[in-house]
Structure 1
Amino acid sequence: SGVPWLSDVYEVIFGLAGYTRNGLFFAPLFLLLGARLRGREASGKGEAAGLGAALALVLCEALILRRLGWQRHDSMYVFLPAVMYFLFSLLLAPRGEAPGWLSPFSMLVYVLHPWVIVLMRGAARQLGLWGLLVENSLGHYLAVCAGSAAAAAVLLLIWARLRPARPSDTARAWVEVDSAALRHNAENLRALLPVGCELMPVLKCEAYGHGLVKTARLMSSMGIRAFAVACAAEGVELRRAGIRGEILILGWTAPESFPCLSRYRLTQTVTEPAYARQLSAYGKNIDVHIKIDTGMHRLGIDPEDIASVEEVFTLPHLRVRGMYTHLCVSDALDEASRAFTEAQRRRFFALAEELCRRGYCVGKLHTQSSYGLLNYPDARCSYARVGIALYGVRSSRGDDAARWPGLEPALSLKARVEQVRSVKAGEGLGYGLAYTAPRKSRIAVLPIGYGDGFPRAAEGACALINGSRAPVVGRVCMDQLFVDVTDCGEVRPGDTVTLIGPGLPCEELAEACGTISNEILSRLGKRLPKVWL
């Protein structure tokens, strides 16, 4: 060798790491690297540049080693861990939701490729193509990739034909989610945020009926890295789905579920010193946000009780990452409501300033929910906890909003017509014969009811069919409801009916039921498939 010391370096590496026909035995290192990078946030830009630089180093190393004749099985690259580091990091960058077939396809390619190598060598020998398909590294690589991909595709097609049939998502009743509207709403709400403030989508109750995991993945693909949920179970579901960043639990977590907080890196809300002491006694490090009660009197520590707040900061194993409060009348713009909201904000920030003066790091501060952002966008906060506005819906039609930046409803609720019946004038229908037809009528029965989350109190609401409004009549059943389609033209079984959607906003249904849109959306049950558009 012309460079003895470099030859000695590689011999030491082989002595420590060993090597296989695929090169240095880096498998344990790659496993540790994957574990280390798990949960890491990545933008994709820096990682792509790093990957390019690492690949260039590997190429240079390969050319030098080949020139010196030192390769063992044509792959022994010391810079390969750098390539894998940046490749793993790049794969963690948000790219939107992958097609459902991609995961089983990639798994099959991995499982099948050793068999394809064996088959390729046998075929090459029989066809006299040994030089092209085996000895030529590039030709061998491309042939094995193509063969593995083809075999995986064939197996997936066979499985698609053999797997058990499942009902169509739109066979009965379903929810449609407009992903473009959700993205549009998030972008427009972000535009309202002051410098230094981030959007924290509130995803509780299946993301207000839109779908917890899919909504989180869409937000993640936009670079959003903070989320709020109601309970530990929702946070665990997000982590298991691969969602990274901060996940704040707004509600209470029972002591028996404390292991979930540490294992899944969830941030717990602390509402009183006694609960903070319970968390501390668990003995493992837990991130927390402190809830401050500035006037709603639901949960939180009184801002005047600064000693209790300080106690939370000093407890072992608790890492205070932020503080927040809830503005309880920020959806109203009358003078009294504005004065109360401003008083809440003053009390909260006065507490934060005093804690900072005493040497505590208060972390992220947040006061704004949806209407807090829409009506008080200038608040000096770290997060805006946006719920109902993210989904393009007002809580009530009469709500005050100083700004409504082109937000679009993202959810539609639809059902098929199950049957069309004729009812004579004076005949009753449904439980208790609560509705009496005032004239000869045609009544469509829809296969959706309060078991799906459609309100039982919806008599007087409307549905849309053939572009016409059809009133909901009679009592809503667990699995069916009635609509009067007498004036809707020809209606047949299987026709699609809209219960929430364009021309029939959720606020209207909520008003007919004497409630708010938040309740209507959060009640939509898991029996309703969610079809994302």
Structure 2
Amino acid sequence: MGGKTMRKTRAIIRLSQFEENIKQLKSLTKPNTAFMVVVKANAYGHGSLKIAEQAAKAGASWLGVALPEEGAELRESGVQLPILVLGDASQEQCKIALQHNLTQCVPSIGTARYLNEAARKYGKKVKAHLKLDTGMGRIGLRRIEEIKSFVNELSSMDGIELEGVFTHLAAADEADTSFTRKQIKKFDDMLLVIKERGIRLRWVHAANSAGVLQYQDADYNLVRCGISTYGYYPSNFVKDNAKIELSPIMQWESCISSVRVINSGESVSYGCTYTAKGDRRVAVLPVGYADGYPRRLSNKAFVLVCGKKAPIIGRVCMDQMMIDITDIPDASADSSVVLMGEQKSEKITADDLSDLCDTISYEILTSISERVPRVYQD
């Protein structure tokens, strides 16, 4: 939301905990390994500009984004760290990468041609990292012959400075290590082919958050961490086996806007999916699925009020939801409510909400909409 807002629904971001998470993650990497903080999708819902600035203070060497437009927005706000666009780019997006001094992922010869064309047009060189597909099945060169052909054509592209190569680990958060080991072996074989053709690369990277937490031998000289810097583990398996402790940096809060008593047999919200079995005290919260709170949590999840769990009753609405505070006599209008975070001895995490939605913490965090103000605390 632009401008100042008086909303009591807000996401509080603890920057000191963000720095601590980075410190913990860096302790797992080899000395002199560069660290990239992935800030795509508005820094996983935490606010990309402020997170990018704090990442630099915390010792990050790189930032990662999904789109050239995301990188351009950071550049226009004064961010100076090297920024790698992790996704593919169209011809027009390649121009954006060039104009904003972004390092562009090159997953195909077609993208390389677009980049080189833009570089020649503007009389500049563009930095690029070659993407290799070792098992993700998404983007990148997959076969040795493709790599050889790419390298041969690249030699005639004077607008591109190929300074790096990378791959993405698809199953590093799983208990079975066999697929990840195959990926690392394939990546090493591909790197050898590139080096044999005289290309010297400054940056080589494969480890994502799960890779850093589980595969210290896959550091190469740069690692990319997204979800872990925000305090969440890529999977329960990784969390259970982690050598470090991460803590979520976001607390999502709201308040009670009004309280009413409904009688036995009366219903709440759309579709009458909740019917009171006795007289109940019901509180209304000024937050709903347009703010990113999943409608799938209707009649399933809890929030925290006065340090106690209060169940959501009825369907979550676009802008409001209702909770049962019958057993919380101290709760009243204006009482603080925690949707995700801690209150006294109770805690609700994005993992808790994602389990109820049959999804992952990433989706919960990135779905929190821009109309929820982000408030930053040191």
Q: Secondary structure at the match of 1:239?
A: helix
Residue matched to 1:501 = 341
Cα shift at 1:394: 2.5
C-alpha distance in structure 2 between counterparts of 1:378 and 1:309, whole Å? 28
C-alpha distance in structure 2 between counterparts of 1:312 and 1:192, whole Å? 38
Q: Secondary structure at the match of 2:348?
A: coil
2:94–2:115 contact (8 Å) kept in structure 1:
yes
Amino acid at match of 2:49: V
Residue matched to 1:356 = 195
Cα shift at 1:303: 3.8
2:83–2:102 contact (8 Å) kept in structure 1:
yes
Residue matched to 2:168 = 326
Q: Secondary structure at the match of 1:326?
A: coil
Q: 1:450 aligns with which of 277, 285, 289?
A: 289
Unaligned runs of 5+ in 2: none
Q: Secondary structure at the match of 1:498?
A: strand
Q: 1:317 aligns with which of 150, 159, 172?
A: 159
Cα shift at 1:307: 2.0
1:313–1:319 contact (8 Å) kept in structure 2:
no
Q: 2:5 aligns with which of 155, 158, 167?
A: 167
Alignment of 1:73-88 (within 5 A): none
C-alpha distance in structure 1 between counterparts of 2:202 and 2:4, whole Å? 48
2:69–2:93 contact (8 Å) kept in structure 1:
no
Give percent identity, aligned residues only.
Answer: 33
Residue matched to 1:58 = none
Cα RMSD of the aligned pairs, angstroms, is 1.7
Residue matched to 2:185 = 346
Q: Secondary structure at the match of 1:200?
A: strand
Q: Secondary structure at the match of 1:501?
A: strand
Residue matched to 2:301 = 461
C-alpha distance in structure 2 between counterparts of 1:425 and 1:321, whole Å? 69
Alignment of 1:385-404 (within 5 A): 385-397=224-236, 399=238, 402-404=241-243
C-alpha distance in structure 2 between counterparts of 1:423 and 1:353, whole Å? 71
Q: 1:351 to 1:244 in 2, by over 3 A?
A: same
Does residue 295 of structure 1 match 2:135? yes
Amino acid at match of 2:351: E
Q: Secondary structure at the match of 1:457?
A: helix
Q: 2:322 aligns with which of 482, 498, 504?
A: 482
Does residue 382 of structure 1 match 2:221? yes
Cα shift at 1:219: 1.1
2:64–2:86 contact (8 Å) kept in structure 1:
yes
Does residue 203 of structure 1 match 2:47? no
Alignment of 1:51-450 (within 5 A): 166-168=4-6, 171-282=7-118, 283=120, 284-304=124-144, 305-311=146-152, 313-314=154-155, 315-334=157-176, 338-397=177-236, 399=238, 402-450=241-289
1:355–1:362 contact (8 Å) kept in structure 2:
no
1:414–1:500 contact (8 Å) kept in structure 2:
yes
Q: Secondary structure at the match of 2:295?
A: coil
2:350–2:361 contact (8 Å) kept in structure 1:
yes
Q: Secondary structure at the match of 1:378?
A: helix
Q: Secondary structure at the match of 1:192?
A: coil
Cα shift at 1:513: 1.3
Cα shift at 1:232: 1.3
Tell me the TM-score normalised to structure 2 length. Answer: 0.92
2:206–2:220 contact (8 Å) kept in structure 1:
yes
Amino acid at match of 2:254: A
Amino acid at match of 2:75: R
C-alpha distance in structure 1 between counterparts of 2:238 and 2:30, whole Å? 23
Amino acid at match of 2:148: A
Q: 1:184 to 1:433 in 2, by over 3 A?
A: same
The CA deviation string for residues 478-524 of structure 1, in whole angstroms up to 9 with x for no partner, is: 11111111112222111110011021111101111111000000111
Amino acid at match of 2:349: P
Residue matched to 1:65 = none
| Equivalent residue pairs, number | 364
Amino acid at match of 2:163: R
1:500–1:506 contact (8 Å) kept in structure 2:
yes
Unaligned runs of 5+ in 1: 1-164
Q: Choose between structure 1 and 2 for higher RCO, CA contacts under 8 A separated by at least 6 residues.
A: 2
C-alpha distance in structure 2 between counterparts of 1:240 and 1:266, whole Å? 12
Cα shift at 1:389: 0.6
Tell me the TM-score normalised to structure 1 length. Answer: 0.66
1:429–1:474 contact (8 Å) kept in structure 2:
yes
Amino acid at match of 1:496: S
C-alpha distance in structure 2 between counterparts of 1:517 and 1:259, whole Å? 34
C-alpha distance in structure 1 between counterparts of 2:237 and 2:220, whole Å? 27
Q: Secondary structure at the match of 1:187?
A: helix
Structure whose alpha-carbon radius of gyration is higher: 1
